[in-house]
Amino acid sequence: MSTLTFEQARACVLEKVRAACSLPAVEGVTLAHAPGRILAEPILADRDLPPVSRSVRDGFAVRAADLPGDLFIVGEVRAGESFAADVQPGQAVEIMTGAPMPLGTDAVVMIEHVTVAGDRVNIPRALVYGENVSPAASQARAGEILREPGKRIDFADVALLASVGRARVLVYARPTVALLATGDEIVPVTHTPLAFQVRNSNVESLAAQVTRAGAIPQILPVAPDLYAATRELVEHGLRFDMLLLSGGVSAGKYDLVETVFADLGAQFFFDRVLIMPGQPLVFGRARDKFFFGLPGNPASTMVTFEIFARAAVELLCGLREPVLPFVWTRLARELHQKTGLTRFLPACLSPDGSTVDALPWQGSGDIPTLARANAFLVTDPDRESWTAGDWMRVLMK
């Protein structure tokens, strides 16, 4: 297998999973359970939006042709009601934000721009036709598709669904992803580890990442550094929709993951990527299920899931276009590196997003620094140094 760049490896994941997976089953959920799920049906406007022309300001509904000038106030209209009469030339109706435009009016002057004296309103400025008015059907026509399937539902989508009368919506069923940590050094989270042991934090962080991606995590028992036990657990994990392993993918004597998969007849797509952390990374397919052998160091596990495995999980969830949440901002201080690898460095993005600063850290096992970081600074593999103020790509955490 060849060693791939970051971009090549991600493209490989997207290509292989897209080509092989079919859309999940469909189920209905209420709006309360819709956020984060993947939409499985088109959402249509059930009527024109808005159904009538509405004011977008508090003020007076008028005829633009009458301005500037003094107009006679003939009434008031609030949101939730309509004005019964036609408005004639030289007349105005006091109107509230969201109220329907009275017949005969075509613009709204803001309350701040007028002077009211008894039943007269003085408007010293001209208005253009349609000013401060949201026209009928300007947002959507009845029957228009407002949202296509394959999109993750967010809070704005929930508002959209409610606005078109959808108390329930069809979404794709969530796949189940098996999580398998490997290594004799791993003990349960509730145990007190010896000096040469570590608690099983990787599957817990992976479970959180899998859940955030939209799938259901299933944590398996730890695989010891024994061939038979590892193979048994791998075979069990392949019964789920996807299998994620942590550890056992390097070149050590007891790194058994690739051997087990090879003996199961797996197809390997790559086993090394030019990134840091996370160079030893296995992606393949066995028994019609995709699997990732993620490196065992915590930062390597977290980063490689986010930039590779997350996209595969999202495709299995029915998401049409998985994307990485990259932003660009300026570097807070100078940075130097050896070329050849795309590096994902724990970093802090400033509260206003104007700068990013790489955090000092002790390598890919430094969980406290990972927890403090709110982003990963992403370097160009062909560049050696940056100065403060240079633009940098940042992966949001």
Residue-wise pLDDT tens digits, 128-140: 999 999 999 999 9
Which residues are bridge partners to 376 per DSSP?
346, 395
Average pLDDT, the chain: 95
290 and 355, same domain (yes or no):
no
Q: What is the mean pLDDT of the segment spanning 365-375?
A: 95
| pLDDT score recorded for residue 93 | 98
| pLDDT score recorded for residue 61 | 98
Residue 118 clears pLDDT 60, i.e. is over it: yes
Residue count (the chain): 397
Q: What is the mean pLDDT of the segment spanning 302-328?
A: 97
Q: What is the mean pLDDT of the segment spanning 58-75?
A: 97
Would 1 be classed as within a structural domain? no
Q: Which residues of 28-49 are buried (b: 16+ CB within 10 A; e: fewer)?
A: eeebeebeebbbbeebebeebb
Residue 7 clears pLDDT 90, i.e. is over it: yes
- Cβ–Cβ < 8 Å for 256, 262: no
Q: What is the mean pLDDT of the segment spanning 379-387?
A: 97
How many domains, the chain? 4
| Other beta carbons within 10 Å of 275 | 24
18 and 109, same domain (yes or no):
no
Q: What is the pLDDT of residues 166-218, one digit of tens each?
A: 999 999 999 999 999 999 999 999 999 999 999 999 999 999 999 999 999 99
| pLDDT score recorded for residue 248 | 76
- Give, in degrees to the nearest 5, the angle at Cα 111 between 105 and 114: 90
165 and 179, same domain (yes or no):
no
Residue 122 clears pLDDT 60, i.e. is over it: yes
Asked whether the CA dihedral 178, 184, 186, 192 is positive or negative, the reply is positive
Residue 254 clears pLDDT 60, i.e. is over it: no
Q: For position 158, which CATH number holds?
A: 3.90.105.10
208 and 313, same domain (yes or no):
yes
Find all residues with CB under 8 Å of 156, minimum gap 6, and list them. Answer: none
CA distance 102 to 53: 9
| pLDDT score recorded for residue 1 | 63
42 and 154, same domain (yes or no):
yes
Backbone angles phi, psi at 217, to 5 degrees: -80, 145
Last residue within a domain, chosen from 265, 284, 317 = 317
208 and 121, same domain (yes or no):
no
| pLDDT score recorded for residue 250 | 67
Last residue within a domain, chosen from 289, 317, 345 = 317
Backbone angles phi, psi at 195, to 5 degrees: -60, -30
Domain containing 117: what range? 54-134
Backbone angles phi, psi at 391, to 5 degrees: -75, 135
Structure tokens at 179: 């999580």
Q: For position 260, which CATH number holds?
A: 3.40.980.10
- Cβ–Cβ < 8 Å for 270, 16: no
192 and 285, same domain (yes or no):
yes
Would 121 be classed as within a structural domain? yes
- Cβ–Cβ < 8 Å for 378, 351: no
285 and 389, same domain (yes or no):
no
For tokens 């000013």, name the residue: 131
Residue 20 clears pLDDT 90, i.e. is over it: yes
Would 211 be classed as within a structural domain? yes
68 and 39, same domain (yes or no):
no
> Among residues 137, 183, 186, 146, which one has the least CA distance to residue 164?
146
Q: Give the C-alpha distances (Å, rounded to integers) separating 234 from 178, 209, 281, 313, 392.
A: 9, 20, 16, 18, 39
Strands 326-331 and 355-358 turn out to be parallel
Q: What is the mean pLDDT of the segment spanning 357-374?
A: 94
Q: Give the C-alpha distances (Å, rounded to integers) separating 200 from 110, 187, 190, 365.
A: 62, 6, 9, 13
Would 139 be classed as within a structural domain? no
